Amino acid sequence: MEFARTRRVDALSVLVLLGIALSVVLMALGGSPRLLLMRESMASGAIGIVFLLSLAMRRPLTFYLARATVAREGEGGAARFEALWDERPALRRSIRLMTAVWGLGLTGENALRSWLAWHWPIERFLVVSPFIGYAIYGALTVWTLMYRKKLQRRATATPTAAVRP
């Protein structure tokens, strides 16, 4: 929908499609029951690795997610966000920190659930695994919202000063 309207690829949509594609590929590979238990977390783990690898780029993955969010909030939001990226080193540090936290969180979730899938009885894994995913995704989301709010408070307290993470 976003692409049809603006002729720009939305980073969040690409992530969702990547996750679905990875899940389909992993499902097609089949495998043992334990491998099937790991399928969902393998997709999120792969996305976590993409987050971490994007830290080597000039603009990490979270930059594109944040820009897409700002673009949806108002006219000229993407251009304004690009300008802030160029002007404020603190914004660049904050975006890189968010990228690292999400990358580590997603790969950590994959590692934990993979270990549990291979070492726990399947019945126990099926009961506990969803709660692990909810807890990790919930913690990452809460941390992101709190961190964003902290950055916004700093920006309004000192509008001319650079925001520090």
Q: Is the pTM of this model over 0.85?
A: no
Provide the pLDDT for residue 132.
Answer: 93
Q: Output the pLDDT for position 164.
A: 46
Do 103 and 52 form a contact (C-beta atoms < 8 A)?
yes
Report the amino acid identity of residue 81.
F
Paired tokens of 2? 């976003």
HSE-up of 86 (CA within 13 Å, CB side)? 6
Give the tens place of pLDDT for each residue, 60-101: 999 988 888 887 777 778 888 888 899 989 889 999 999 999
Helix axes 33-54, 89-119, angle to 10 degrees: 170
Across 10-22, b (16+ Cβ under 10 Å) vs e yields bbeebbeeeeeeb
Rounded CA separation 115/23 (Å): 19
- The first and second tokens of residue 14, run together, are 């690409």
Residues of the chain with pLDDT under 50: 1, 161-165
